[in-house]
């Protein structure tokens, strides 16, 4: 009996340690894969988001799947110092139309609490309007001025935004801005990649699926948590 209790407590501790550890872990971004498995854009050129001593606004985009009927799935990384927000945008042409802007921000009136927003940036008059987008797997860390985030967006289609014939060709932009109370101040563009076919960053094994997208909303830590859950269940069964 005593042994079983100890076993259950030990199991609980393993569960707590392993199960909850990822939730509190910081987002760590590196240049690994830049130019081969992910597209990277940074200001200044080639700066490293893992090094905090010099200024570095860094954005990356990795294609995870492409479906010719619905579009491309992308995972993004963003890092930079700001007391307001940093943002990554996708646009067909940064001089006309609009930019889909993904914003990672810290709220200085709430102890630097992280928040995420999707916006439309009107490229001509530079105004920002709120725009809902399905973003999944948002991870973040805010340390002092440094904001880092990671997120995924499914079914992006360049031609659904404006008329063009290149579905996976976007210009990627990165920049930052301040917060004026609860509203986002003007977006200050730092870099614009120019038109870029993001499908070249698809993993070789997953190119050209035409099947309907699946598993896009997979829970983040299912791989780690499932074995732990069964382990825990087994121990409880044993206890009973
Ligand atoms: C993108 O949208 C356009 C128009 O809505 C459509 O013709 C095209 O097939 C779509 N492409 C992809 C890759 O989803
Ligand atoms: C703000 O953060 C500091 C440092 O982590 C902490 O000591 C303080 O209690 C926090 N204040 C609020 C209102 O959360
Ligand atoms: C900016 O441009 C957009 C798109 O053309 C338009 O809908 C919006 O009303 C404009 N906003 C201002 C403040 O001019
Ligand atoms: C977001 O995803 C849900 C379920 O996957 C879907 O029903 C909804 O239409 C999506 N919303 C947008 C704005 O794409
Ligand atoms: C960025 O912010 C972090 C955390 O506040 C700080 O340690 C670092 O010195 C800052 N980097 C630059 C280049 O200002
Ligand atoms: C920032 O925090 C303040 C104080 O908690 C809150 O009133 C405000 O709505 C927050 N702003 C945003 C954009 O989340
Ligand atoms: C795909 O395979 C080619 C040739 O082996 C390689 O050069 C390229 O880096 C690979 N791309 C990705 C995204 O893995
Ligand atoms: C994917 O398949 C379609 C039709 O089967 C073809 O037109 C297209 O070029 C292929 N794309 C890639 C990236 O292989």
Q: Ligand 3: which atom is nearest the Cα of residue 125? A: 1
Check pocket membership of 110 for ligand 6, CB cut-off 6 A: yes
Which residue owns the Cα nearest ligand 8 atom 14? 208
**What residue ranges in the chain does DSSP mark as E strands?**
39-43, 57-67, 71-81, 85-91, 98-107, 113-122, 128-130, 135-143, 146-156, 169-177, 179-180, 183-184, 188-197
Residues enclosing ligand 7, CB less than 6 A? Answer: 36-37, 201, 203-204
Which residue owns the Cα nearest ligand 5 atom 9? 53
Q: What is the pLDDT of residues 18-68, one digit of tens each?
A: 444 334 457 899 999 999 999 999 999 999 999 988 999 999 999 999 887
Q: In whole angstroms, what separates CA 3 from the centre of its chain?
A: 45
Q: List average pLDDT for each run of 10 residues in the chain, which is 240 residues long.
A: 56 45 66 95 96 94 87 95 97 91 94 95 96 95 96 84 63 96 95 93 67 39 41 47
Residue 169 CA to residue 121 CA, distance in Å, equals 18
CB 76 within 8 A of CB 102: yes
What pLDDT does 67 receive?
Answer: 81
Which residue owns the Cα nearest ligand 5 atom 4? 144
What pLDDT does 218 receive?
Answer: 35
What pLDDT does 37 receive?
Answer: 94
CB 169 within 8 A of CB 157: no
* Closest by CA position to 199, among listed 27, 73, 14: 73
DSSP 25: P
Q: What is the pLDDT of residues 4-15, one digit of tens each?
A: 555 654 545 544
What pLDDT does 166 receive?
Answer: 46
Phi, psi of 217 (to 5 degrees): -110, 30
Q: Ligand 7: which atom is nearest the Cα of residue 36? A: 9
Which residue owns the Cα nearest ligand 5 atom 14? 55
Q: Which ligand neighbours the alpha carbon of 153 most closely? A: 4
pTM: 0.75
Q: Ligand 7: which atom is nearest the Cα of residue 204? A: 1
């Amino acid at each position: 009996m005593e042994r079983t209790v100890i076993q259950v407590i030990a199991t609980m501790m393993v569960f707590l340690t392993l199960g909850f550890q990822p939730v509190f872990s910081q987002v760590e971004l590196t240049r690994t894969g830049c130019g081969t498995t992910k597209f990277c854009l940074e200001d200044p050129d080639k700066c490293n988001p893992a090094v905090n001593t010099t200024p570095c606004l860094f954005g990356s985009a990795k294609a995870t799947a492409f479906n010719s009927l619905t579009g491309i799935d992308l995972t993004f990384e963003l890092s930079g110092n700001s007391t307001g927000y940093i943002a990554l945008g996708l646009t067909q042409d940064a001089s006309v139309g609009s930019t889909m802007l993904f914003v990672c921000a810290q709220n200085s009136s709430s102890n630097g609490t992280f928040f995420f927003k999707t916006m439309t940036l009107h490229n001509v008059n530079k105004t920002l309007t709120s725009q809902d987008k399905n973003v999944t797997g948002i991870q973040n860390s805010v340390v002092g001025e440094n904001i880092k985030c990671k997120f995924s967006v499914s079914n992006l289609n360049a031609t659904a935004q404006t008329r063009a014939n290149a579905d996976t060709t976007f210009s990627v932009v990165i920049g930052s801005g301040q917060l004026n109370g609860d509203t986002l101040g003007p977006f200050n563009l730092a870099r614009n990649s120019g038109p870029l076919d993001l499908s070249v960053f698809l993993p070789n094994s997953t190119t050209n699926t035409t099947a309907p997208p699946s598993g896009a909303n997979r829970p983040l830590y299912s791989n780690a948590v499932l074995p732990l859950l069964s382990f825990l269940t087994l121990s409880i069964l044993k206890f009973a």
